[in-house]
Chain A
Amino acid sequence: MPPTLSVQNLSIEYAARRGKVRAIRNVSFDVARGDALALIGESGSGKTTLGLGVVQLLPSTAKITQGNALYHRDNKTIDALTLKGKALREFRWKECAMVFQSALNSLNPVLRIADQFGDTARAHNYLQGRALKERAEHLLTLVRLDPERVWKSFPHELSGGMRQRVLIALGLLLEPQLLILDEPTTALDILTQRNIMDVLKELRGKLDFSLIFISHDLSLAAELADRVATVYAGKIVEFADVTTTFKTPAHPYTIGLINAVPTLQGAKEDLTSIPGSPPDLIELPSGCKFHPRCPRADARCKRDEPELEEIASGHRVACWNWRTT
């Protein structure tokens, strides 16, 4: 069976005053049916741009310069990047729901939660009235909210964690095949974060959908994802299943990210941060974009950019020196 989403050679640029910001450079990846893929990287690495690109919600300064995003359902394959008008509107949320980073502001402040569910359902000729309410109550219960309380509330009457869970429930309303969650736990306190993660894990067990989970937090990705793609300077630099990523990471950047996460048992000295800062996406460094920060960089890294190469089954790395890392 073909993958639910297959992104191929995608490149996205932003027009800025200084020049072109090359946010996504020739990125390809697949998300199989029921699969959960985590996109991991620092702020500004292009993770969110990738998500926005798939649903064509990039700001007007952005431009998709090449590539496609093949979406598959019921023996039909469409390129999500060529959709327009009504077809695009139907694709959004019904096929692919994207829940944004800013959960606190993602709901219209002057409409009740019930109306925002109603709006969404009406736009897609989905259930109405009592049937809609029952479906919504079911989803709200799944995300551990009290439907009676939430249904008639305005967004400002709910806490940040509750709003995030409302959005996740809303995201699942139309039974989409693909759910993109962009930093769903950022800006939430640690307990609420825990709660959201538990809800998501539970949902994955109960419902059938593919997930793209965008995060800078490796530990969250480890909990939720089947596979992990490490994004650096608009490119995927390592791709592996979650166990391999943590047990035998091959790219120095992935290793750096893992070492930057504190562990319960580890000594304080083991905690190291990656030196330097993310590269300027307008004037990218030559060769491997990570070489200015890489402890193993040599002359070749400065000269040529490595492409992803398969070093083990399902494990691909873009690094010249992966054998020695």
Chain B
Amino acid sequence: MAVTSQTQPQTFSLLARIERITSNYVLRRIVKAMFTIWVVVTITFFVVRAMPGNAVDILIQDLTAQGFSADEALNQAASLMGIDLNQPAHEQYLDYLANVVRGDFGKSYRSRGLNVADMIAQVLPWTLFSVGLSLAITFIIGIALGALIAYARDTWFDHLISNIAATLDAVSPYLIGLLAILLLGVTWKIIPFSEMRGALSPGIQPEFSLEFFADAFSHVKVLLLVYVLASVGSWILIMKSNTIATLGEDYVTAARARGLSDFRILTAYVGRNATLPLFTRLAISIGFAVGGSLLLERLFAYRGVGFLLADSLGNRDYPVMQGVFLVITFAVVFSNLIADFLYGWLDPRIRIAGGGN
């Protein structure tokens, strides 16, 4: 009796502590995100090794074809991929995990000696810059126009914008890109596309100066335009339907009955509630955007992540592919995490239901 009465409060408080930790919304989310990343990292490891004509064999074949002996080729391949082929699979896996945690994605096959992590670090800022800027522009235009045509429902302006939006949404981004080159570069000769290869003109250094930003912008502007045109349609249409749904809510009519100003109703009552679901979409878009656009970056010869990925796919440069996929995975999982927190912060109903505060 004495023993139980003493241990009971202890186990109880321990359980309560575990309970408190596991019920923490933020912590639960982070653990879940890390688990997702681990699953993807693991799948990537095994898929690369399970692929027919696996990456190592192909590399060894390539190297022997270049005149290396079988042993030399094996060693070379092992060092390039950062794996010890004599190790059992589970030890290789653990090494690989440790490397990924350190941010070491191995070395490129094709660009000898270059670290995959360095290669990605070189192109990533340009993709983040172009896609981030285009997302911001798209989000603002989409919300403003969507809300506007919802207020002006069934006017000629609504019909015009809705039809343009639906058309843009349906057309492939690649086609918009081709059209942009054809019209701006060939037919009207407004943009000299040959001078716009890469993210910067030769001789311009990344620094905090007007010259640098002006040059970076002049290289990205057409790509930006294409990104915005390709995605703004769906934002407009979603915002329109959200706004119409919100306008029909009783609390909007009640706000009018309370004599609130139109501006206050538009921002705090209609706008805030109608954009809530869009913030989640925005955060998730940012995650996927890290991959850049394979086709568009290639089309505009813009050296971003998509360009690098397209290159590595063409060259069967497995470590680069693997690295890019991992970075995209991190970005998507991370932005989903941000979306969850953001939504919880913006919508009090989720905040309380989620257990966090």
Q: Is the CB of B352 within 8 A of A92?
A: no
Q: B31-39, B96-104, B341-349: which one contacts chain A?
A: B341-349
Is B348 within 8 A of A105, CB to CB?
Answer: no
For the complex, is B18 an interface residue (Cβ under 8 Å from A)? no
A259–B159 Cα distance when bound, in Å, is 54
Residue contact A93 to B257, C-beta cutoff 8 Å: yes
Beta-carbon nearest neighbor of A109 in chain B: B349
Which listed residue, A89, A92, A119, A156, touches B349 by the CB 8 Å rule?
Answer: A156
Do B250 and A120 have beta carbons less than 8 Å apart?
Answer: no
- Chain A residues with CB under 8 A of B254: 100, 106-107, 167
What 1/0 flags go to B240-270 for Cβ under 8 Å of A? Answer: 0000000001110111111111001000110
Cβ–Cβ contact B255 & A93, under 8 A: no
Instruction: Indicate whether B281 reaches chain A with its CB closer than 8 angstroms.
Output: no
A169 to chain B, nearest CB (A): 13
Interface residues of A in 190-205 (CB under 8 A from B): none
Known A100-B254, A107-B254, A119-B268: A156·B261 in contact at CB below 8 Å: no
B107 CB, min distance to chain A CBs, angstroms: 51
Per-residue CB contact flags for chain A residues 113-136 toward chain B (1 = under 8 Å, else 0) read 000000110111000000000000
Q: Mark A211-236, 1 if CB is under 8 A from B, else 0.
A: 00000000000000000000000000
The reply to whether B259 and A105 form a contact with Cβ atoms under 8 Å apart is no
A108-B268, A110-B273, A156-B349 known; A57+B253 contact, CB < 8 A: yes
Q: Mark A28-62, 1 if CB is under 8 A from B, else 0.
A: 00000000000000000000000000010100000
**Cβ of B272: which chain A residues have Cβ within 8 Å of it?**
110
User: Does A154 interact with chain B (Cβ within 8 Å)?
Assistant: yes
Chain B residues with Cβ under 8 A from A158's Cβ?
Answer: none
When the two chains form their complex, are residues A97 and B257 in contact, meaning their CB atoms are under 8 A apart? yes
Tell me which of B256, B258, B260, B273 contacts A109 (CB under 8 A). Answer: B273
Interface size class of A (residues with CB under 8 A): 20 to 34
Q: How far is the CA of A94 from the CA of B347 in the complex (A)?
A: 30
Contact of A120 among B253, B258, B269, B349 (CB under 8 A): B258
Question: Which residues of the other chain, A, contact B260 by a CB distance below 8 angstroms?
Answer: 89, 119-120, 123
Q: How far is the CA of A106 from the CA of B347 in the complex (A)?
A: 17
Bound together, the chains give a CA A186 to CA B252 distance in angstroms of: 20
| A55 and B259 alpha carbons, distance in the complex (Å) | 10
Look across to chain B and name the residue whose beta carbon is closest to the beta carbon of A90. B259
- Residue contact B257 to A108, C-beta cutoff 8 Å: no
- Choose among A100, A109, A124 the residue that contacts B259 (Cβ–Cβ < 8 A): A124
Q: Please report the C-alpha to C-alpha distance between residue A154 and residue B350 in the assembled complex, in whole angstroms.
A: 12
**How many inter-chain contacts with C-beta < 8 Å in the A-B complex?**
74
Q: Which of B251, B273, B348 contacts A106, CB < 8 Å?
A: B251
Quick one: closest B residue to A167, CB to CB?
Answer: B254
Across the interface, do A110 and B346 meet the contact criterion of CB distance under 8 Å?
yes
A106: chain B residues within 8 A (beta carbon): 250-251, 254
Q: Tell whether, in the assembled complex, residue B249 and residue A105 are in contact, meaning their CB atoms are under 8 Å apart.
A: yes
Name the contact of A92 in the complex, choosing from B249, B256, B273 (C-beta under 8 A).
B256
Q: Are A94 and B348 within 8 A (Cβ)?
A: no
Q: Is A139 an interface residue (CB 8 A)?
A: no
The reply to whether B348 and A123 form a contact with Cβ atoms under 8 Å apart is no
* Contact in complex: A107, B251 (CB < 8 Å): yes
A280 at the interface (CB under 8 A from B): no
- The one of B250, B258, B347, B352 in contact with A123, judged by C-beta atoms closer than 8 angstroms, is B258
For the complex formed, measure the closest distance between the CB of A174 and the CB atoms of chain B, giving whole angstroms: 9
Question: Do A109 and B348 have beta carbons less than 8 Å apart?
Answer: yes
Segment 177-197 of A: residues with Cβ below 8 Å from B:
none
- For residue A120, which residues in chain B have a CB less than 8 angstroms away from its CB? 258-260
Count of interface residues, chain B, beta-carbon cutoff 8 Å: 23
> Do B347 and A92 touch across chains, with their CB atoms under 8 A apart?
no
Q: Cβ of A93: which chain B residues have Cβ within 8 Å of it?
A: 257-259
Query: How far is A100 from B257 in the complex, measured between Cα atoms in Å?
Result: 9
Chain B CB within 8 A of A321 CB: no
Instruction: Among B249, B257, B348, point to the contact of A156 (Cβ < 8 A).
Output: B348
A126-165 interface mask toward B, CB cutoff 8 Å, 1 = contact, 0 = none? Answer: 0000000000000000000000000000101100000000
Given A57, A97, A105, which contacts B256 in the complex, CB threshold below 8 Å? A57
Cβ of A164 to closest chain B Cβ, rounded Å: 12
Q: How far is the CB of A53 from chain B (nearest CB, A)?
A: 13
A244 within 8 A of B: no
**Contact between B346 and A108, CB atoms less than 8 A apart:** no
Closest residue on chain B to residue A89 by CB atoms: B259
Say if the beta carbon of A111 comes within 8 Å of chain B. yes
Closest B residue, CB atoms, query A107: B251
CA distance A82 to B252 in the complex (A): 22
In the complex where A108-B268, A154-B348, A156-B348 touch, is A89 in contact with B253 (Cβ < 8 A)? no
Q: Is A98 an interface residue (CB 8 A)?
A: yes
Say how far B115's CB is from chain A's closest CB, in angstroms.
47
Q: Which residue of A lies closest to B255 (CB)?
A: A108
- Known contacts: A108-B251, A110-B347. The answer to whether A55 contacts B257 by CB under 8 A is yes
A63 to B: closest C-beta gap in Å:
17
Instruction: Say which residue of A100, A110, A111, A119 sits within 8 Å of B250 (CB atoms).
Output: A100
Min distance, Cβ A158 to any Cβ of chain B, angstroms: 12
A102 at the interface (CB under 8 A from B): yes
Q: In the complex, are the beta carbons of B261 and A89 less than 8 A apart? A: yes
What are the residues of chain A within 8 A of B269 when measuring CB–CB?
108
Which B335-357 residues have C-beta < 8 A from chain A?
346-349, 352
Cβ-closest 5 pairs across A and B: A92-B259, A105-B250, A106-B254, A93-B259, A154-B348
Query: Which residues from chain A sit less than 8 Å from chain B, CB to CB?
Result: 55, 57, 89-94, 97-98, 100, 102, 105-111, 119-120, 122-124, 154, 156-157, 167, 170
A-B contact pairs, 27 of them (CB 8 A): A55-B257, A57-B253, A57-B257, A89-B259, A89-B260, A92-B257, A93-B257, A93-B258, A100-B250, A105-B251, A106-B250, A106-B251, A107-B251, A108-B251, A108-B268, A109-B251, A109-B347, A109-B348, A110-B276, A110-B348, A119-B268, A120-B259, A122-B264, A123-B260, A123-B264, A154-B352, A156-B349
Known contacts A109-B347, A122-B264; 15 additional CB pairs below 8 A are A57-B257, A90-B259, A92-B258, A93-B258, A93-B259, A98-B257, A106-B251, A110-B347, A123-B258, A123-B261, A154-B348, A154-B352, A156-B352, A157-B352, A170-B258
